[in-house]
Amino acid sequence: MMWEFFARSLNASTIFTFAALSELIGQRSGVLNVGIEGVMLFGATLGFIVAQSTGSYLLGFLAAIVIGGVIGLLHGFFSITLGGNQVVNGMGIWILGFGLTAYIGYPYTGPLGMKRIPDIMGLSPFFFVGIALIIITWLVLSKTSLGLRIRSVGENPSVAEVSGINVTKTRYLSVITSGMLMGFAGAIYSLDYNPVWNYNFIMGWGFIALALVFFSMWNPLILLGGSMLFGTLWQLSLNPELVLPGVLSRYIWRTVPFVITIGVLMLMSTKWFSTKWGAAKPEALGQPYEKE
Amino acid sequence: MILKDIKRGDTVLEARGITKRFPGVVANDHIDFGIKAGEIHAILGENGAGKTTLMKILFGLVQPDEGEIYVHGEKVNFRSPLDAIHFGIGMVHQNRKLIPAHTVIENIILGHPKSGNILNLKRTGEEITELCDKYGFNIDLKAKVWQLSEGEKQVVEILKALYRGAKILILDEPTSALAPPETKKLLASIKIMTGDELAIIPFITHKLPIVLTVSERVTVLRRGKVTARLKTADATESNLAKEMVGREVIFRLERVEVGKGKPILQVENLSALNDKRVLALKGVSFSVHEGEIFGIAGVSGNGQQVLAEVLAGLRKAVGGKVLTDGINITHYTSLERWQKGIGYIPSERIDVGSIGDFSLVDNVFMNYYFDDEFSKWGIIDSKKIRKLTKEIISEYAVAAPSSDITAKSLSGGNLQKLILARVLSRKPRLIIANLPTQGLDVGATEFVQNKLMEAKKERAGILLISEDLDEILSLSDRVAPIYEGEFMGILPGEQATRENVGAMMAGLK
Amino acid sequence: MKFGSYKVKLEKKVNLTGWQAAMISILAIIFALVLVSFIFLHAGVNPLVGYKEIFSYGFANAFGLPLTINKSIFILLCTFAFIVPMRAGLWNIGMAGQLYAGALGAFAVAFAFGAKGSQSIDLSPGIVIPLMLVGASLGGAASGAIAGFTKGRFNTNEIVVTMMINFITFWLVAHMIKEGGPFMGSGGEGEGFKLPPSIQAPIINNVPFTILIALGLAGLLYFLFAKTKIGYQIKAYGLCPAAAKYAGISPFKIPLLVFVIGGLIAGLAGYHYFAAVPGVFKITKNYGDFGDLAFYGIICGLISQNNPLAAIPIALLFGGLTNGGRFVQGKLNLGFGIDYALLGVLMITLVAFQFFFRYKIVWKKIEKEKL
């Protein structure tokens, strides 16, 4: 029983891991995508439709990755090439995702109806993929020249440019990779974690992932810990009877992860915290780069 | 690379007829000059003389409309800094082109073609240490750049250029942010480099003595044209200044004694933290009296900015007291301080001193919105504020077509006039002027200094913070050199000299 | 770029006049409608027929028009709830949460007067309705205050916080109206109790009295930003917080204030939808949908460039489009969510067209000798 709860929690955390990691990759290059929820909705919906129509999980995930990459490219085009306000662009992506998937996916409302993806002792295989991705991302960011380039365009694009780095290319690379992972994260939700389609069914997980990136101080390893914590909290809110049977209605428990998110966000933003742990926010986050 | 065999005295870089036009101005007008290996060749000019444009053209950041650049006799066409770097040109920017959050070594290898896919920090570290030993630099490669002093950051930029194989080094205002001992060290290293056949081109606005001590030749620019080419041996400070400005410069403003009144501001043992939460102001005590200019001299980053912000109510003090007229105002908000007659002229003209997207009227309103006279019952009296803005514009000769244009469309000098006028028109009893003339041309500087002098005659107390020793010495009744958040002493104006204040700014008591 | 003997160049706009902004916005809306016509085509419907049905039902139909106005009032209030924080540079995407909180506040007042007990209870509308409006305002304002406080005090990201509050409030409503919650109606199917006729909102010509609140607020907000000290302080903070702080404008009070005002207005939107629309007068089972509709406030706010008066025609247009969109879904046998699709396409088109707020395209004839 306890193990099952933990496995379920870790499976939930897997989605947070993928989603938050994708956002982190984009943000380290200086591009904020608050439309992560929308990209996940696209990935989840397209992945669901393709998997159900073809009967192939592989094609479903591929479709999700491709659409995620395309939406990432779109966000990149608005934010990098056109140089618009990244928050506005992200909002656009979110509402586009919300609106279009509601329409496109509606005929597919209901369960996926395929054999479940096999698990390993109750754990989704993607849990392990997620951990591997975290480590790879950490290695790439801190030990390779590509990682240095990504971090540099996120910190100060004009410095990177005079050092001979193609800011536009580097940012596009990050944003598209980020979008592909977001789409993938959405598909893990709709094909593995909870394979039932309903409109707007990501239910704010994308926004929690966005908050998680801030918690992680842009460090992939801390991010892994944060997403496990949130996965557990989420699972706890679904099964409150495991801890405090009969106390408060289950709807009140559902609010707990969100309340805690706000609480942690407040703690993170205090001066005490930033002094103690250092602020690691990419300096150029959210700022379009214009060549002189 | 084509720059293998350079002999001392070879012409390594030559510009012929460089011309660049921007809407309304000719920034560079047929500029010619040549640079030889092993030589320090200073380019001298005021703000707006076209130095920045020329520098950007030489480094490939801007393309000229006309003219040719030759490196080693070969005609080149730089489309980006990468091309310039490829031809062995390195640039050390005044507003540092470094990433504060990264380590020194990461900054140096950033974008280096040799760095490979996986970073080999050990090998590169050894190579950079070798360079350091050769030229007498001493720097911790693993330190984060934000922890470094201005001088150290400059060294990192030089190392970055050298590690890339630069043979021609462009230095933008190399000594402007350095304390005297740091300047000395830098000049020593530069001398070693020229021994190695490197050509060095410092671009300099002021600090003429430095030009005279280190360089071999000088080219002077004025309004986009070359006005003089001299051997430094033939130049004097005053003839260089004349070529630069186009007229005899009156360097000294006459200090007027108005008779010191009672103290307006008393500061006791004041301490505060900077943005990185490090103690940057360490228990300073002083007072400013009516009709007095109290000058704080220091190289930037020594706590004077923090002091100004604490006094303006923009930053919290962690210890000590601030009193005006004997009332403890340490915990007053900035609004309460404005209302008590403290006026702050910030060093950041855009984004603190003004709002770029606001009209001039709205910008003037920034210091008036809280007065009942201008907003009765919370409703703005727009006629009154318009009238005031018009008066300010004409009285201070702000060059603006109308009072409805945005602040960001004003030039730096005009914007500073507007900010100054807005603050002074409140007739504050205490004025905190933080770098009031930084980056302004000679005319605007004179204007601002005269206005401060006038305010002093009207018995305001003025706290003047400046990096420009000449300004401090000519205006201040008392001078406090600041170093690492502490006053090195408080000197009466007549005892303050370039030598003793300069030494104290560098931390020598 | 060259096209024949013309050269095309992008130039930065120095100033954007209100007229230019309006033109760009109108073009964006038309462009979005053209894009959505592909959805009609895909569904096998002639877009012209589709739009004709939408517009004639939305704006020229005795049943449709009052519904359009109802929706428009709601969208307009949500727009104001978005605009006020936006003027301070802050994103309120918590209109959904704030309007649920407002609805809970209004129904709490009715509940306190015993309205849940019986439909025939005779309450004095002159007392209860104003109190319900106060309850709605307080509920919304309290919800907004959380985001404003955390922003002002801790500088937390207001987008994340308001989003989290949306979900919290969503589940709080569920708690109140489902599974024996205190506000559950007699039907017991996850609906709120129905307001007794005595305290149902007055309806004038099929239009709830809340239209007066919405239009009044439009004028009031316009005046606030154009003429008052508080409006000036909000704008200064929005354009440049550091400069505002220099001028003595509190970086704590302004975020708190704008979110309280924004929340309050969203709370009134909650009152409007659940307590003033003819035939509703309860927290409906599908209350979540109204939260979705609140996002039109974002789009409407962005298109109107934060101008409360310009928001009125845009809100009316969107009210008609969603209303007509829902109608043609049934009539032309389209899939569910065509109005949501329209919402999404409108938003992304608008984002793309924002480019033209900053740049203009210049055509120049290339002189002969240079060719």
Name the band, by pLDDT with cuts 50, 70 and 90, for residue C255.
very high
Give CA–CA dist B481/B491, Å, rounded.
9
Q: Is residue A285 part of a domain?
A: no
Name the band, by pLDDT with cuts 50, 70 and 90, for residue C3.
low
- List the CATH code of the domain at B11-97+165-245: 3.40.50.300
Nearest to C161 among A107, A249, A265 (CB): A265
Q: Cβ contact (<8 Å) for B117 and A161?
A: no
Q: What is the pLDDT of residues A49-90, one digit of tens each?
A: 999 999 999 999 999 999 999 999 999 999 998 888 898 899
Asked if A44 and A190 count as a contact pair (C-beta separation under 8 A), the reply is yes
Percent of chain B scoring above 90 in pLDDT = 15
Which is it for strands B89-92 and B168-172: parallel, antiparallel or unpaired? Answer: parallel
Q: Is B330 on the interface with C (CB under 8 A)?
A: no
Most confident of A201-205, B485-489, C287-291, C355-359: B485-489
Question: Cα-atom radius of gyration of chain C, to the nearest Å?
Answer: 23
Beta bridge partners of C360: C11
Q: What is the pLDDT of residues A171-180, one digit of tens each?
A: 999 999 999 9
Nearest to C232 among B334, B336, B380 (CB): B380
Q: Residue A29 has what pLDDT? A: 94
Asked if C131 and A178 count as a contact pair (C-beta separation under 8 A), the reply is no
Q: Is B412 on the interface with A (CB under 8 A)?
A: no
| B83, B115, B168, B403 from B164: Cα distances, Å | 12, 11, 11, 50
Q: Is C17 on the interface with B (CB under 8 A)?
A: no
Would you tell me the crossing angle of helices A205-215 and C158-177 to the nearest 10 degrees?
A: 140
Q: Residue B254 has what pLDDT? A: 66
Nearest Cα residue to C248 out of B462, B407, B426, B366: B366
Nearest to B358 among C227, C239, C250 (CB): C239
Give CA–CA dist B445/B124, Å, rounded.
46
Structure-token pair, residue B48:
């707006």
Nearest to C347 among A87, A92, A265 (CB): A92
CA atoms within 13 A on the CB side of B439: 15
Instruction: Look at C183 and A153; give whichever has higher pLDDT.
Output: A153
Nearest to A148 among B97, B119, B160 (CB): B119
Most confident of A22-36, B254-268, B406-420, B466-480: A22-36
Asked if C353 and C24 count as a contact pair (C-beta separation under 8 A), the reply is yes
Q: What is the largest CA-CA distance in chain B?
A: 78
Name the band, by pLDDT with cuts 50, 70 and 90, for residue B50.
confident
Name the band, by pLDDT with cuts 50, 70 and 90, for residue B235.
confident
Q: Is B111 on the interface with A (CB under 8 A)?
A: yes
DSSP-based three-state secondary structure for C204: strand
Which is it for strands B375-376 and B379-380: parallel, antiparallel or unpaired? Answer: antiparallel
Q: What is the pLDDT of residues B357-370, one digit of tens each?
A: 888 899 999 988 88
Nearest to B110 among A143, A163, A282 (CB): A163
Q: Is residue A289 part of a domain?
A: no
Asked if C270 and C82 count as a contact pair (C-beta separation under 8 A), the reply is no
Name the band, by pLDDT with cuts 50, 70 and 90, for residue C371.
very low
Q: Cβ contact (<8 Å) for A148 and B116?
A: no
Give CA–CA dist B17/B19, Å, rounded.
6
Chain B, nearest residue to A278 by Cα: B276
Q: Cβ contact (<8 Å) for B335 and C250?
A: yes
Residue B384: pLDDT over 70? yes
Q: Cβ contact (<8 Å) for B335 and C233?
A: no
CATH fold for the domain made of B261-341+430-509: Rossmann fold (3.40.50)
Nearest Cα residue to C92 out of C144, C140, C169: C144
Residue A116: pLDDT over 70? yes
Q: Cβ contact (<8 Å) for A160 and B111?
A: yes
Q: Residue B484 has what pLDDT? A: 85
Give CA–CA dist B220/B243, Å, rounded.
7
* Structure letter (DSSP) for residue C334: P
Asked if B351 and B366 count as a contact pair (C-beta separation under 8 A), the reply is no
Nearest to A292 among B61, B100, B101 (CB): B61
Q: What's the whole-number mean pLDDT along residues B480-503?
A: 85
CATH number for A115: 1.10.3470
Q: Is B375 on the interface with C (CB under 8 A)?
A: yes
Q: Cβ contact (<8 Å) for C228 and B409?
A: no
Asked if B482 and B288 count as a contact pair (C-beta separation under 8 A), the reply is no
Backbone angles phi, psi at A68, to 5 degrees: -60, -45
* Structure letter (DSSP) for residue B485: T
Amino acid at position B279, single letter? L
Domain ranges of chain C: 1-43+335-371, 76-309
Residue B252: pLDDT over 60? no
Asked if A214 and C160 count as a contact pair (C-beta separation under 8 A), the reply is yes
Instruction: Look at B211 and B390; give whichever has higher pLDDT.
Output: B390
Q: Cβ contact (<8 Å) for B97 and A143?
A: no
Which is it for strands B375-376 and B486-487: parallel, antiparallel or unpaired? Answer: unpaired
Structure-token pair, residue C105:
């506040």
Q: Cβ contact (<8 Å) for C232 and B346?
A: no
Asked if B37 and B13 count as a contact pair (C-beta separation under 8 A), the reply is no
Cβ neighbours of A152 in B, within 8 Å:
99, 102, 110-111
Interface test with B, best of A138, A148, A150, A273 (most B CBs within 10 A): A148
Q: Cβ contact (<8 Å) for A103 and C295?
A: no
Residues 6 or more apart in contact with residue B471 via CB below 8 angstroms: B437, B445, B449, B464
Q: What's the whole-number mean pLDDT along residues B193-200?
A: 76
Q: Cβ contact (<8 Å) for A103 and C292?
A: no
Candidate from C30-44, C210-224, C255-269 with smallest mean pLDDT:
C30-44
Question: How confident is the prediction for chain A on average, in pLDDT?
Answer: 89
Chain B, nearest residue to A163 by Cα: B111
Structure-token pair, residue B376:
């009765």
Candidate from A277-291, B53-67, B103-117, C334-348 with smallest mean pLDDT:
A277-291
Structure-token pair, residue A263:
């609480």
Q: What's the whole-number mean pLDDT along residues B130-155?
A: 85
Q: CA torsion angle for B239, B245, B248, B250 (degrees, to 10)?
A: -120
CA angle B152-B153-B155, nearest 5°? Answer: 65
Q: Residue B247 has what pLDDT? A: 58
Residues 6 or more apart in contact with residue C92 via CB below 8 angstroms: C81, C82, C84, C85, C86, C98, C144, C147, C158, C162, C259, C262, C263, C266
Sign of CA dihedral C26, C27, C29, C30: positive
Asked if C176 and C192 count as a contact pair (C-beta separation under 8 A), the reply is yes
Asked if B169 and B193 count as a contact pair (C-beta separation under 8 A), the reply is yes
Instruction: Look at B195 and A147; give whichever has higher pLDDT.
Output: A147
Give CA–CA dist B142/A29, Å, rounded.
22
Name the band, by pLDDT with cuts 50, 70 and 90, for residue B77.
confident
Beta bridge partners of B342: B430
Asked if C121 and C83 count as a contact pair (C-beta separation under 8 A), the reply is no
**Range of the structural domain that residue A153 is part of:** 2-277
Question: How confident is the prediction for chain B on average, in pLDDT?
Answer: 84
* Structure letter (DSSP) for residue B359: B
pTM of the model: 0.85
Residues 6 or more apart in contact with residue B372 via CB below 8 angstroms: none
Structure-token pair, residue B118:
């996986």
Is it true that B11-97+165-245 and B261-341+430-509 share their CATH fold?
Answer: yes
Structure-token pair, residue C337:
């969510």
| B404, B457, B491, B497 from B452: Cα distances, Å | 27, 9, 20, 21
Give CA–CA dist B429/B290, Å, rounded.
8
| B3, B10, B92, B202 from B77: Cα distances, Å | 17, 21, 21, 22
Residue C159, min C-alpha distance to chain A (Å)? 8
Q: Cβ contact (<8 Å) for C337 and A269?
A: no
Q: Is residue A35 part of a domain?
A: yes
Q: Which residue is associated with the tokens 């002098």?
A: B453
Which helix H or strand E contains C239, and what residues bound it? Answer: helix C229-239
Q: Residue C201 has what pLDDT? A: 82
Q: Cβ contact (<8 Å) for C164 and A214?
A: no
| C21, C22, C333 from C321: Cα distances, Å | 22, 19, 17
Nearest Cα residue to B221 out of B237, B250, B251, B243: B243
Q: Residue B1 has what pLDDT? A: 44
Instruction: Look at A277 and B303; give whichever has higher pLDDT.
Output: B303
* Structure letter (DSSP) for residue B405: S
Asked if B221 and B54 count as a contact pair (C-beta separation under 8 A), the reply is yes
Give CA–CA dist B422/B15, Å, rounded.
45
Instruction: Look at A289 and C5; give whichever has higher pLDDT.
Output: A289
Percent of chain A scoring above 70 in pLDDT = 95
DSSP-based three-state secondary structure for B227: strand
Return the partners of chain C (3 or more C-beta pairs < 8 Å).
A, B
Residue B333: pLDDT over 50? yes
Chain C, nearest residue to B337 by Cα: C248
Residue A42: pLDDT over 70? yes
Q: Is residue A291 part of a domain?
A: no
CA angle C14-C19-C21, nearest 5°? Answer: 65
- Count up the domains in chain A and report the number: 1
Name the band, by pLDDT with cuts 50, 70 and 90, for residue B4.
low
**What separation, in Å, do the N-terminal and C-terminal C-alpha atoms of chain B show?**
50
Give CA–CA dist C183/B402, Å, rounded.
61
Residue C308: pLDDT over 90? yes
* Structure letter (DSSP) for residue B252: -
Strands (E), B234-278: 263-273
Q: Cβ contact (<8 Å) for A255 and C168?
A: yes
Asked if B1 and B85 count as a contact pair (C-beta separation under 8 A), the reply is no
Name the band, by pLDDT with cuts 50, 70 and 90, for residue B325.
confident
Give CA–CA dist A261/C277, Å, rounded.
35
Give CA–CA dist B347/B97, Å, rounded.
21
Name the band, by pLDDT with cuts 50, 70 and 90, for residue C370.
very low
CA angle C259-C263-C265, nearest 5°? Answer: 120
